[in-house]
Amino acid sequence: MKVVICGGGIIGNCVAYYLGESGITDITVVERDKLANAASGKAGGFLARDWCCECRQLDIFAKTSFALHQELATKFDGKASYDYRRLEAFSASYDADLKKSETELDSKREHLKWFNGPNIVAKSCNSIGTNENVAQLHPYKFVDTIAEYNLSRGIKVLEDTAIVSVKTEKAKAVGVELSNQTELECDVLVLCMGPWTGAAIEWFDSLPSCYGQKGHSIVILPKTELPGEAVFMELGGQFSPEIYPRPDGQVYVCGVTENPLPSNDLPLPGTIKPTENSCEKLKDIAGKVSDILCEGEVLTSQACYLPLTHDGLPIIGKVPQTENVYVAAGHGCWGILNSAATGKSLAQLITGCNEDEKINIEAFNPGRFNSLKKSSNTK
């Protein structure tokens, strides 16, 4: 079986990994930029076992993926290879209008001693996750680790190379034409292009739409290393910053987002720049909630696009009206968490593993949108 995977982010590399583990040897990952050069390399890497409870199947899927990440961390020494660890998570609110007496924090508290800004609502600082159900990894390092392993198994990677067209025979993809003027034959084509996946409607008109939501982040290097305590903030209804101290001493801060755009309206990977003042807002709030972060050096200011779908659920499965084209995209803010289960479940679908072993991805079937269209037309 010859498999071509379009997209070298965390999803594409996980699909390649699990296909390789299933015994498939002829796999090529095609990436138009560099591996993990978009959201897969610029995300926070926060993993939560049971925070996707708005949908039962997504909740089960996330729990499966959380467990798979633990397996991968054991296999690849995640602690050393890509900063995998369990940690704690807390909620917090910041209100510039509150009086000091209402915001004064207990200096004797066990956690968040570094979170000492004068306008933090004391009663809002609550535990929302423990090392039993939350973890973190460095997403770029994770992708690099998986990609290196894939390469050692004979999986091929083509960077700075785009798929410019797909050759089809009836409902089957039989090959792709590349931007370097070469061609690849394929028995299976997998689309894992993140927020750009929707642009493949040019090749397959039954593909569901995807969107990209621009998000900003900064990486701070404080003079003092912070403990493994992630903070999810509310800022007076304006936006919701998130702060993730990392094992390497750096601190990741994100939270300024913009309205989603269709896939075809997005800038290309490698050309995405932060919107003016967005990263400055993150540094400002980080400095207001922590003296240590205020004195820290901003190492990186960046932006990326989170992949979204119409209904907020990912699309994982066979593209409607095709025989051998599959898609995995639209994971929103949980792409890093659900990458492992996505890779394994799609590999199971492609290789036709034992039904009893399959991860349930029925709720993420790309054909669900086609069913809605038919229902609407009937009415």
What's the confidence (pLDDT) of residue 355? Answer: 67
What's the confidence (pLDDT) of residue 118? Answer: 85
Residue 130 phi/psi, 5-degree rounding, is -125, 180
Superfamily covering domain 3-80+137-209+310-370: FAD/NAD(P)-binding domain (3.50.50.60)
Model confidence pLDDT, tens digit, residues 210-266: 999 999 999 999 999 999 999 999 887 778 999 999 999 999 999 999 999 999 999
Determine the Cα angle at 232 with ends 226 and 236, to 5°: 125
Q: What is the mean pLDDT of residues 299-307?
A: 97
Distance of CA 88 to the CA centre of its chain: 20
What's the confidence (pLDDT) of residue 145? Answer: 98
Closest CA to 220 of 6, 44, 15: 44
Model confidence pLDDT, tens digit, residues 139-168: 999 999 999 999 999 999 999 999 999 999
Q: What is the mean pLDDT of residues 346-364?
A: 90
Closest CA to 316 of 187, 210, 214, 215: 210
The end-to-end CA distance of the chain, in Å, is 43
Q: Please say if the pLDDT value at position 374 is more than 50.
A: no
Domain edges within the chain: 3-80+137-209+310-370, 101-123+212-227+245-308
Question: Is 95 buried (19+), middle (13-18) or exposed (0-12) by CB count in 10 A?
Answer: middle
- Record the tokens describing residue 165, joined without a space: 């067209």
Q: Which of 63-72, 282-291, 349-358, 368-377 shows the lowest mean pLDDT across its residues?
A: 368-377
Q: Which of 97-111, 158-172, 278-292, 320-334 shows the lowest mean pLDDT across its residues?
A: 97-111
Closest CA to 123 of 94, 144, 159: 94
Model confidence, pTM: 0.95
Q: What is the mean pLDDT of residues 129-135?
A: 97
